[in-house]
Amino acid sequence: MIKYYSINGELVNKEQASLGVTDLAIQRGYGLFDYFVVKKGQPLFFEDYLDRVEQSAKWLHLELLVTREALREQVLQLIRANGEQEAGIKIILTGGYADDGYSPAKPNLIILEMPPPVYPKSKFEQGVKLMLYEHHRTFPSAKSINYIVGIYLLPQQQAAGAEDVLFHSNGEIYETTRANFFIVKQDDTIVTAGEGVLHGITRKRLLEVAKHHYAIELRNPSLDELKLAKEAFITSSTRLLMPVVQVDEVTIGDGKPGSVTQRLLELMKAEVVRYLDEH
Amino acid sequence: MIKYYSINGELVNKEQASLGVTDLAIQRGYGLFDYFVVKKGQPLFFEDYLDRVEQSAKWLHLELLVTREALREQVLQLIRANGEQEAGIKIILTGGYADDGYSPAKPNLIILEMPPPVYPKSKFEQGVKLMLYEHHRTFPSAKSINYIVGIYLLPQQQAAGAEDVLFHSNGEIYETTRANFFIVKQDDTIVTAGEGVLHGITRKRLLEVAKHHYAIELRNPSLDELKLAKEAFITSSTRLLMPVVQVDEVTIGDGKPGSVTQRLLELMKAEVVRYLDEH
């Protein structure tokens, strides 16, 4: 039973966990976050996520106020207190209480724990559909809390039966609202955007694992290439790796998850096991 | 003394006014707001702002949950309780407590009251500088709480001694982070963006007042036109109308607030007096 959240280092009963309404997250949507899963009681790829929290804070001019060691300990304290072996953890750092309603102040640090993400098996076995939308995220490399475009598009996404929205700009594909996007070319080369996207932790691990087996091109896949792709997939902290078989009206390959995607999913599952064994 | 805020229709001591940390404003920066001033105890141009709150809510798929009459009464109740004749009021409608951390739920309605905006007289007498930045706001016509770009740029803005950041894209000027932007051409024609910007309430009143005296062109001023402009100014709820005499390294006109700007400021002050007398 998840009973607690952590607010500025204090465990708080989750029903009582609150922020004053002048916080800059509430007044101006200003803050950063990160999210990772807990498996067998361990935060998966923990140090990578702590790295990214530090990078996002630097990018957004928000001071973390605690050392990396203290932040790590706050997360572990929360996991211990809630006693769950499988969960999701979200770290949020907000702009703090802004007297003038605009200037970042002393940030508030929130750590939420939630049930682990669950996706129907069918999505991995049959693949999912994505919906295209022309947009390039603002400051994509910082994991800010700004999700206005994705949330605004939710009704359209649901009407289209799409798992997520795939952003493109000037004919080039970037990422989805919450995942990195990859295509597999006919010669099995893997292509994913190198810059202008969030550098996902799962993306990073995937690239490390994949490079021993496949050629990799770090560049934006073009919209035209999508029609010629053999396979496509997305990676994220919640989904690990999920096959994509349709983008708008374009069927990817033969419309079924391909062999490269399936092999990469197995390699990633093994990477998770390896990590948990080693930590 | 401002002692209260209003949270979902209840007056709350402002030190106790809070939101649970799973609100979508905190998790995903999703919400809308509006801001207006109170003069002689009256919300200035009140119905225009209530219109815009309704429009923003529709745009962002957030349900207001209260009627317009109830919202109006909540604002007036707060003003009465705090007893201030001169103030600023901010209405915020958030995405609500999102179980899945992403989908809008039952919105939370917050009304804040704060001291009235105060700007040094010198800014109106001598004019201010703006800093250019290439960007076009996401969903500019909805007054969302998304201010990531402006707040991110604050250190640069302050280093440049700029009053605000002026957004341009493809050679065309849109608006500043928190104000509408106007130029006055050599023939006294007023030019301001017609679409792709927030339709400011002060902008609307200015255009109504100005059309009896000047020709108006509703189109984006170009960056090149800036160098040829006779005058420039911004309008916003807090500033009413403020002369702009410099944009980056470009001096506007002779570097002093011009006669058209000054006349429009007088006309706007008279419009405020007229409104207060009539309400």
Pairing of strands A128-134, A10-13: unpaired
SS3 B49: helix
Query: Which value, in Å, is the radius of gyration of the alpha carbons in chain B?
Result: 19
Identify which of A60, A102, A149 has the shortest CB distance to residue B138: A149
A157 touching B (Cβ < 8 Å) = no
**Angstrom distance (rounded) from CA B59 to CA A5:** 33
Mutate to test the interface with A, among B91, B148, B156, B170 (most CBs of A within 10 A): B148
pLDDT band at B196 (very low <50, low <70, confident <90, very high): very high
Residue B107 and residue B96 in contact, taking contact as beta carbons nearer than 8 Å: yes
> A103: distance to nearest CA of chain B, Å?
7
Burial of A187 (0-12, 13-18, 19+ CB in 10 A): exposed
Residue A117: DSSP 8-state: P
Judge: B18–A22 Cβ closer than 8 Å, yes or no.
no
Identify which of A18, A104, A138 has the shortest CB distance to residue B19: A18
**Angstrom distance (rounded) from CA B258 to CA B245:** 9
Residue A111 and residue A75 in contact, taking contact as beta carbons nearer than 8 Å: yes
Both structure tokens of B69: 């009459």
Phi, psi of A209 (to 5 degrees): -70, -40
Instruction: Transcribe B203-231 into DSSP letters.
Output: HHHHHHHHTTTS-EEESPPBHHHHHH-SE
Residue A243 and residue A231 in contact, taking contact as beta carbons nearer than 8 Å: yes
pLDDT tens per residue, range B122-176: 999 999 999 999 999 999 999 999 999 999 999 999 999 999 999 999 999 999 9
Q: What's the pLDDT score for residue A132?
A: 98
Q: What's the pLDDT score for residue A222?
A: 98
**Angstrom distance (rounded) from CA A113 to CA A37:** 9
Both structure tokens of A165: 């929205």
Judge: B90–A110 Cβ closer than 8 Å, yes or no.
no
**Angstrom distance (rounded) from CA A50 to CA A154:** 29
Phi, psi of A30 (to 5 degrees): -105, 115
Domains and their CATH numbers in chain A: 4-114 (3.30.470.10), 121-278 (3.20.10.10)
Considering only residues 223 to 252 of chain B, which have any Cβ-Cβ distance to chain A shorter than 8 Å? none
pLDDT tens per residue, range B95-125: 999 989 999 999 999 999 999 999 999 999 9
- Please report the beta strands in chain A, taking only residues with DSSP state E, as ranges in sequence order: 4-7, 10-13, 18-20, 31-39, 42-43, 87-94, 109-114, 128-134, 164-169, 172-176, 180-184, 190-192, 216-218, 231-236, 240-247, 250-251
CA B179 to chain centre: 5
Q: What is the mean pLDDT of chain A?
A: 97
> A269: distance to nearest CA of chain B, Å?
24
Judge: A26–B110 Cβ closer than 8 Å, yes or no.
yes
pLDDT tens per residue, range A125-143: 999 999 999 999 999 999 9
Considering only residues 48 to 67 of chain A, which have any Cβ-Cβ distance to chain B shorter than 8 Å? 60-61
**Angstrom distance (rounded) from CA B201 to CA B48:** 7
Judge: A27–B155 Cβ closer than 8 Å, yes or no.
no
Other CB atoms within 10 Å distance of the CB of residue B211: 11
Identify which of A5, A144, A148 has the shortest CB distance to residue B21: A5
pLDDT tens per residue, range A244-271: 999 999 999 999 999 999 999 999 999 9
Q: Which residues of A202-215 are buried (b: 16+ CB within 10 A; e: fewer)?
A: bbebbbebbeeebe
Going from the C-alpha of A147 to that of each of B103, B132, B157, B268, B270, the distances in angstroms are: 11, 25, 25, 37, 41
Pairing of strands A164-169, A42-43: unpaired
**Angstrom distance (rounded) from CA A149 to CA A136:** 10
- What ipTM goes with this model? 0.97
**Angstrom distance (rounded) from CA B197 to CA A154:** 23
What is the maximum span of chain A, computed from C-alpha positions, in angstroms?
57
> B251: distance to nearest CA of chain A, Å?
27
Pairing of strands A128-134, A164-169: parallel
SS3 B59: helix
> A42: distance to nearest CA of chain B, Å?
22
**Angstrom distance (rounded) from CA A105 to CA A98:** 6
> A18: distance to nearest CA of chain B, Å?
4
Judge: A102–B151 Cβ closer than 8 Å, yes or no.
yes
> A278: distance to nearest CA of chain B, Å?
31
pLDDT tens per residue, range A174-231: 999 999 999 999 999 999 999 999 999 999 999 999 999 999 999 999 999 999 999 9
Q: Which residue of B has its CA nearest to A149?
A: B138
Q: Which residue of B has its CA nearest to A89?
A: B101
| Cβ partners under 8 Å of residue B230, min gap 6 | B183, B184, B185, B186, B188, B252, B253, B258, B260
Q: Residue B37's closest CA among B201, B185, B250?
A: B201
Map tokens 């694992």 to a residue. A209
Mean pLDDT of A32-57: 98
Considering only residues 100 to 139 of chain A, which have any Cβ-Cβ distance to chain B shorter than 8 Å? 101-104, 110, 112, 114, 135, 138-139
What is the maximum span of chain B, computed from C-alpha positions, in angstroms?
57
Instruction: Transcribe B96-125 into DSSP letters.
Output: -B-TTSSS--S--EEEEEEPPP---HHHHH
Other CB atoms within 10 Å distance of the CB of residue B216: 15
Phi, psi of A102 (to 5 degrees): -145, -35
| Cβ partners under 8 Å of residue A220, min gap 6 | A172, A173, A174, A193, A194, A196
How many CA within 13 A on the CB side of residue A1?
3
Using alpha carbons only, give the angle B225, B157, B44 rounded to the nearest 5 degrees: 80
Q: Which residue of B has its CA nearest to A103?
A: B151
Q: Which residues of A11-47 are buried (b: 16+ CB within 10 A; e: fewer)?
A: bbebeebbbbbbbbbbbbbbbbbbbbbbbeeebbbbe
pTM above 0.80, yes or no: yes
Q: What's the pLDDT score for residue B105?
A: 97
How many CA within 13 A on the CB side of residue A82?
29
| Cβ partners under 8 Å of residue A167, min gap 6 | A133, A134, A135, A136, A137, A149, A173, A174, A175, A176, A177
A3 touching B (Cβ < 8 Å) = no
- The proportion of chain A whose per-residue pLDDT surpasses 70, expressed as a percent, equals 100
Q: Residue A13's closest CA among A21, A5, A23?
A: A5
Judge: A21–B92 Cβ closer than 8 Å, yes or no.
yes
A19 touching B (Cβ < 8 Å) = yes
Considering only residues 178 to 217 of chain A, which have any Cβ-Cβ distance to chain B shorter than 8 Å? 178
Other CB atoms within 10 Å distance of the CB of residue B175: 27
Q: What's the pLDDT score for residue B127?
A: 98
Which positions in chain A touch B144 (Cβ < 8 Å)?
Answer: 29, 148
pLDDT tens per residue, range B15-63: 999 999 999 999 999 999 999 999 999 999 999 999 999 999 999 999 9
- Separate counts of helices (H) and strands (E) for chain A: 9, 16
A31 touching B (Cβ < 8 Å) = yes
- The proportion of chain B whose per-residue pLDDT surpasses 90, expressed as a percent, equals 99
Judge: A29–B24 Cβ closer than 8 Å, yes or no.
no
Identify which of A29, A92, A152 has the shortest CB distance to residue B145: A29
